[in-house]
């Protein structure tokens, strides 16, 4: 089971849509991530809510992040944290290597986040 | 003169193509070879049960509207078609559970099922179909939609290409008599045979070649398929001269159901009709095509037809945009397709379905239109996560984009039996490069998007980014498959052989394909 990185003192935890616990695949089946692309995704923060906007269409994309991802407000900046505490995105930033198909993110750059119990 | 094509206008007729290669090698021997390769056998469009799905998707209304003569049928023998005509109701089937689609939203799956059912002449009663789709025990067969036992038996009983070998040989032996044939799936899979003699005269001879138990009809037509193909060859050979008199031909093909030759022109349809009929006879019909876009292939984002593997392709569905990589060009009967990953088609109502595909990073300039999704095998326990995008036959190639220096790397072979240790490479758009590794394992089952894909090959290609899906897997000019998924360390791909099985699309291994 993957858990969120512990919040630092002063962090305000913000709500984030994350994936439901996954059932382990049947014996002999491997889990992988399809490599379709959302294009450039920008994280926006209005002081209350965070949205993820697709750059090309300016459409809010209701991404569902892997279990263990978390969202915190730190020094007025919203930060999307991976389970290891690394910053995946912060408000105002974009990245174009977030992938999967559908809204369930399973690939950030070359890092694969398998569904987790 | 290199008359490039945009595909949009041609999509309505892709399934009817019998187009000789004439864009790059416009000499008569090549033209003839192209015709012989793809048009000489009269069953060119009737080689598989699912093949006609494409044809009828576009042609059924016209075919029905122009239904000509049913001179002979086996109507007196109650075949499976008769059984299927008795609509089954949801209550008869006894299913009332709510419909949860296995491969997308309720609406999308239902619409898909209804569309296919119309094409195959099955019941399109919404309640009945909804009930069937909710039934986890329902047979899905080759069509990938839920079928009642009666329907499944009916589909299974329909003829396929191997059933028609004798008729093909009859056509080859009687070129002046033979007007062509096709499988009319919307009419129960009946074989439509066209002959140029009064049906009563020829029927006895034709009948001897019809397999026992196959339903058929015979209609009398004016032109033999051979004569129509000859007109196609002649028009193709004359394209340059036609252009000098103001008739810019984009495309020309044989239209078997309507017993004519269709010529797509840039403009001036009346002038074109007058000139073409004067030169080539009354079998020619004129349609106005789309403007060409004669630019060169300079990058994965800017590479006009002919389409090829390794290109950046994109589509917008439900307001969202998605990117993938093209895999390779293939052929099913006389129609051509660009293969990519099936999951590029989308997930259903939330994320949308991505049907209209373009080349490039931005969506969606008309002059970069590639084609529309035609079929996919993106379902649970599919052996290939693949999608076929219908393209113009004039936009086919056996190329892979490798680099800007070599944007036309050719595929000349297709490898069917992946072996552990095989050296393989991909050519992918987002990563914008060629990455290689070796086959680690074969025949694996991989799970993503709530589906399991079987018979997948795992390879040590350690660089796969979002947007690389669908890219070709190849080695030494041989095609292995198309990239589908990664675990961050290595990559998975569906084999070209399984894509053939799932979609019926064979890779193009020559320009004439």
Q: What is the ipTM of this complex?
A: 0.89
Phi, psi of B12 (to 5 degrees): -70, -10
* Selected residue with higher pLDDT from A64 and B72: A64
With H, G, I as helix, E, B as strand and everything else as coil, classify residue B312: strand
**CB-nearest partner of A30 from B347, B430, B447:** B447
Residue recorded with tokens 């009967």:
B333
CB of B513 within 8 A of CB of B399? Answer: no
Query: Is residue B356 situated within a structural domain?
Result: no
**Minimal CA separation from A37 to chain B, in Å:** 4
Query: Is residue A105 situated within a structural domain?
Result: yes
pLDDT in tens, A19-49: 999 888 888 899 999 988 888 999 999 999 9
| Residue (of B315, B63, B318, B43) closest to B159 by Cα position | B43
Chain B residues with CB under 8 Å of A109 CB are: 465
The Cβ of residue B49 has, within 10 Å, a number of other Cβ atoms equal to 22
Altogether, the residues listed in chain B come to a count of 513
With H, G, I as helix, E, B as strand and everything else as coil, classify residue B29: helix
Tokens of residue B153, six digits: 């038996």
Q: Which residue in A37, A57, A61, A97 has the most chain B C-beta atoms within 10 A of its own C-beta, making it the best mutation to test that interface?
A: A37
Residues 7-46 of A with CB under 8 A from B: 25-26, 28-39
Based on the fold, state whether residues B50 and B159 are members of the same structural domain: yes
Query: Is residue A15 situated within a structural domain?
Result: no
pLDDT in tens, B128-139: 888 888 887 887
CA angle B84, B85, B86 (to 5 degrees): 90
Query: Is residue A45 situated within a structural domain?
Result: yes
Based on the fold, state whether residues B161 and B271 are members of the same structural domain: yes
Buried b (16+ CB within 10 A) or exposed e, B320-351: bbbbbbbbbbbbbbbbbbbbbbbbbbbbbeeb
Based on the fold, state whether residues B33 and B159 are members of the same structural domain: yes
Based on the fold, state whether residues B130 and B228 are members of the same structural domain: no
pLDDT, position B36: 25
**Minimal CA separation from A6 to chain B, in Å:** 25
Reported as type and span, the H/E element at residue B276 is helix B269-280
Residue A72 pLDDT greater than 80, yes or no: yes
Could you list the beta-strand ranges (E) of B135-224.
178-184, 190-195, 216-220
B277 contacts: CB under 8 Å, gap ≥ 6? B284
pLDDT, position A37: 87
User: DSSP readout, A44-93?
Assistant: EE-SS-EEEEETTTTEE---BBPTT-EEEEETTEEEEE-TTS-EEEETT-
Q: A56, B346: Cβ pair inside 8 Å?
A: no
Buried b (16+ CB within 10 A) or exposed e, B455-475: bbbbbebebbbbbbbbbbbbb
Q: B484, A28: Cβ pair inside 8 Å?
A: no
Query: Is residue A28 situated within a structural domain?
Result: no
CATH number, domain of B414, equals 2.40.10.10
CB of B372 within 8 A of CB of B356? Answer: yes
Query: Is residue B510 situated within a structural domain?
Result: no
B29 contacts: CB under 8 Å, gap ≥ 6? none
Chain A residues with CB under 8 Å of B351 CB are: 101-103
Reported as type and span, the H/E element at residue B368 is none
**Minimal CA separation from A75 to chain B, in Å:** 31
Half-sphere exposure in the Cβ direction for B311 (13 Å, CA):
31
B219 contacts: CB under 8 Å, gap ≥ 6? B68, B69, B70, B71, B179, B192, B193, B194, B195, B199
Query: Is residue A62 situated within a structural domain?
Result: yes
Q: What is the CA radius of gyration of chain A?
A: 14
Q: A107, B486: Cβ pair inside 8 Å?
A: yes
Chain A residues with CB under 8 Å of B312 CB are: none
Chain B residues with CB under 8 Å of A112 CB are: 486-489
Based on the fold, state whether residues B156 and B192 are members of the same structural domain: yes
Domain that holds residue A108: 34-112
pLDDT, position B102: 31
Rounded to two decimals, what is the model's pTM?
A: 0.56
pLDDT, position A3: 83
pLDDT, position B107: 59
Percentage of residues of chain B with pLDDT beyond 90: 35
Based on the fold, state whether residues B223 and B202 are members of the same structural domain: yes
Query: Is residue B407 situated within a structural domain?
Result: yes
Is residue B5 left, alpha or beta, with left meaning phi > 0 and alpha meaning psi from -120 to 50? beta
Query: Is residue B344 situated within a structural domain?
Result: no
| Residue (of B123, B105, B114, B127) closest to B57 by Cα position | B114
Based on the fold, state whether residues B202 and B83 are members of the same structural domain: yes
Q: Which residue in B466, B484, B490 has the most chain A C-beta atoms within 10 A of its own C-beta, making it the best mutation to test that interface?
A: B466
Q: How far apart are CA B340 and CA B332, in angstroms?
A: 15
Q: A37, B465: Cβ pair inside 8 Å?
A: yes
**Minimal CA separation from B341 to chain A, in Å:** 8
Residues 72-101 of A with CB under 8 A from B: 97-101
Chain B residues with CB under 8 Å of A31 CB are: 446-448, 487
pLDDT in tens, B443-484: 999 999 888 999 999 999 988 999 999 999 999 999 999 999
pLDDT, position B186: 75
Q: How far apart are CA A25 and CA A21, in angstroms?
A: 12
Based on the fold, state whether residues B83 and B97 are members of the same structural domain: no
Based on the fold, state whether residues B235 and B102 are members of the same structural domain: no
Percentage of residues of chain A with pLDDT beyond 90: 62
Strand partners, A116: none
Tokens of residue B391, six digits: 């393209």
Query: Is residue A22 situated within a structural domain?
Result: no
DSSP class of B229? H
| Residue (of B284, B280, B272) closest to B245 by Cα position | B272
B244 contacts: CB under 8 Å, gap ≥ 6? none
Based on the fold, state whether residues B248 and B125 are members of the same structural domain: no
Q: Which residue in B485, B489, B494 has the most chain A C-beta atoms within 10 A of its own C-beta, making it the best mutation to test that interface?
A: B485
Q: A35, B464: Cβ pair inside 8 Å?
A: yes
Residues of chain B with pLDDT under 50: 1-105, 290-294, 348-349
Which residue from A minimizes the CA distance to B492? A32
Which residue from B minimizes the CA distance to A24? B447
Question: What is the number of helices (H) and of strands (E) in chain A?
Answer: 0, 13
Chain B residues with CB under 8 Å of A38 CB are: 320-323, 466
**CB-nearest partner of B466 from A32, A36, A102:** A36
pLDDT in tens, B100-133: 333 334 555 576 567 667 767 888 999 988 888 8
Name the domain count of chain B.
3
Based on the fold, state whether residues B39 and B119 are members of the same structural domain: no
Domain that holds residue B138: 89-147
Half-sphere exposure in the Cβ direction for B412 (13 Å, CA):
5
Sign of the CA dihedral running A107, A110, A111, A113: positive
Tokens of residue B355, six digits: 């049907």
Based on the fold, state whether residues B198 and B125 are members of the same structural domain: no
Name the domain count of chain A.
1
**Minimal CA separation from B469 to chain A, in Å:** 5
Q: A110, B447: Cβ pair inside 8 Å?
A: no
């Amino acid at each position: 089971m993957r858990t969120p990185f512990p919040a630092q003192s002063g962090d305000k935890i913000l709500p984030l849509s994350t994936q439901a616990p996954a059932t382990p695949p049947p014996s002999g089946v491997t889990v992988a991530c399809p490599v379709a692309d959302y294009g450039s995704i920008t994280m926006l923060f209005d002081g209350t809510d965070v949205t993820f906007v697709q750059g090309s269409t300016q459409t809010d994309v209701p991404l569902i992040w892997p279990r263990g991802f978390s969202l915190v407000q730190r020094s007025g900046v919203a930060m999307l944290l991976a389970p290891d505490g690394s910053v995946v995105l912060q408000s105002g930033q974009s990245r174009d290597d977030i992938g999967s198909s559908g809204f369930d993110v399973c690939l950030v750059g070359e890092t694969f986040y398998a569904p987790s119990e | 003169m290199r008359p490039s094509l945009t595909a949009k206008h041609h999509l309505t007729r892709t399934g009817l193509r019998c187009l000789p290669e004439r864009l790059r090698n416009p000499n008569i021997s090549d033209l003839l070879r192209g015709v012989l390769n793809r048009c000489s056998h009269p069953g060119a469009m009737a080689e598989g049960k699912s093949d006609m799905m494409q044809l009828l998707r576009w042609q059924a209304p016209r075919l029905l509207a122009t239904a000509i003569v049913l001179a002979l049928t086996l109507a007196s023998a109650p075949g499976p078609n008769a059984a299927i005509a008795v609509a089954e109701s949801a209550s008869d089937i006894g299913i009332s559970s709510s419909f949860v689609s296995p491969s997308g939203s309720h609406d999308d799956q239902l619409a898909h099922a209804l569309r296919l059912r119309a094409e195959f002449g099955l019941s399109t009663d919404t309640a009945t179909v909804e009930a069937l789709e909710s039934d986890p025990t329902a047979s899905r067969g080759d069509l990938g939609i839920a079928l009642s036992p009666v329907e499944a038996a009916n589909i299974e009983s329909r003829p396929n290409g191997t059933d028609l070998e004798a008729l093909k040989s009859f056509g080859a032996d009687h070129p002046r008599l033979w007007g062509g044939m096709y499988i009319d799936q919307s009419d129960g899979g009946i074989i439509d045979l066209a002959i140029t003699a009064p049906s009563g005269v020829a029927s006895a001879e034709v009948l001897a070649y019809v397999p026992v138990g196959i339903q058929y009809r015979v209609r009398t037509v004016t032109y033999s398929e051979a004569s129509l193909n000859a007109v196609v060859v002649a028009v193709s050979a004359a394209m340059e001269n036609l252009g000098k008199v103001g008739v810019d031909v984009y495309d020309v093909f044989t239209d078997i159901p309507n017993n004519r030759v269709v010529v797509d022109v840039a403009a001036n349809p009346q002038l074109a009709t007058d000139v073409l009929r004067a030169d080539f006879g009354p079998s020619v019909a004129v349609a106005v095509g789309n403007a060409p876009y004669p630019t060169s292939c300079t990058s994965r984002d800017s590479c006009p037809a002919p389409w090829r593997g390794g290109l950046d392709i994109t589509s917008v569905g439900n307001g969202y945009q998605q990117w993938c990589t093209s895999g390779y060009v293939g052929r099913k009967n006389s129609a051509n397709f660009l293969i990519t990953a099936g999951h590029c088609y989308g997930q259903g109502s939330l994320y949308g379905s991505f049907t209209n595909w373009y080349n490039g990073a931005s969506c969606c300039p008309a002059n970069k239109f590639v084609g529309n999704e035609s079929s996919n095998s993106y379902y649970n326990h599919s052996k290939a996560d693949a999608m076929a995008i219908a393209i113009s036959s004039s936009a086919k190639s056996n190329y892979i984009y490798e680099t800007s220096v070599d944007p036309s790397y050719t595929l000349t072979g297709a490898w069917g039996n992946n072996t552990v240790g095989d050296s393989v490479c991909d050519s992918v758009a987002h990563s914008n490069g060629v990455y290689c590794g070796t086959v680690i394992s074969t025949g694996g089952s991989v799970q993503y998007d709530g589906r399991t894909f079987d018979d997948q090959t795992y390879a040590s290609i350690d660089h796969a980014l979002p947007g690389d899906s669908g890219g070709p897997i190849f080695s030494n000019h041989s095609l292995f498959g198309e990239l589908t998924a990664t675990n961050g360390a290595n990559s998975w791909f569906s084999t070209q052989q399984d894509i053939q099985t799932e979609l019926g699309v064979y890779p193009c291994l020559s320009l004439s394909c």
